[in-house]
């Protein structure tokens, strides 16, 4: 496993934008470089189950999005900085949640939480109406 630290969550008005960052570190890098990890984001709103938001393949060639964020959110990665980003535009109150960064070695971009071995602690995003 690797350690994931998210940042960038805050209170924003509806229609606004935020960029979340997730820095990856850990001893697992001695076995697998950053470029071996499929990275992703999940979110969990109060009283709701954790849901898939987006993922980017270990090669960066494939990106996956939940229907609810398609066209508004963009995932990207900078392997030189061991960082994955989630650019969130046109935010809606229903985007309010704790956002979690996830990682899986050579993952397939799954939308299932159980397919990711490493999880961050989460960052709170609150969108006011």
HSE-up of residue 97 (Cα within 13 Å, Cβ side): 21
Going residue by residue through the chain, which has 129 residues, state the pLDDT in tens, using 9 for 90 and above. Answer: 789 999 999 999 999 999 999 999 887 666 778 888 999 999 999 999 999 999 999 888 899 999 999 999 999 999 999 999 999 999 999 999 999 999 998 888 899 999 999 999 999 999 999
Give the pLDDT confidence score for residue 107 in this predicted structure. Answer: 84
Give the pLDDT confidence score for residue 57 in this predicted structure. Answer: 93
């Amino acid at each position: 496993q690797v350690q994931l630290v998210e940042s960038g969550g805050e209170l924003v008005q509806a229609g606004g934008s935020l960029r979340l960052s997730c820095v990856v570190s850990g001893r697992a890098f001695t076995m697998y470089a950053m470029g071996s990890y499929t990275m992703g984001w999940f979110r969990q709103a109060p009283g709701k189950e954790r849901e898939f938001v987006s993922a980017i393949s270990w090669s960066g060639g494939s990106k996956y999005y939940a229907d609810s964020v398609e066209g508004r959110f963009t995932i990207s990665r900078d392997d030189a900085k061991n960082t994955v980003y989630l650019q969130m535009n046109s935010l809606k109150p229903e985007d309010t949640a704790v956002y979690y960064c996830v990682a899986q070695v050579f993952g397939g971009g799954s939308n299932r939480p159980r397919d990711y071995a490493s999880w961050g602690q989460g960052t709170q995003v609150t969108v006011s109406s």
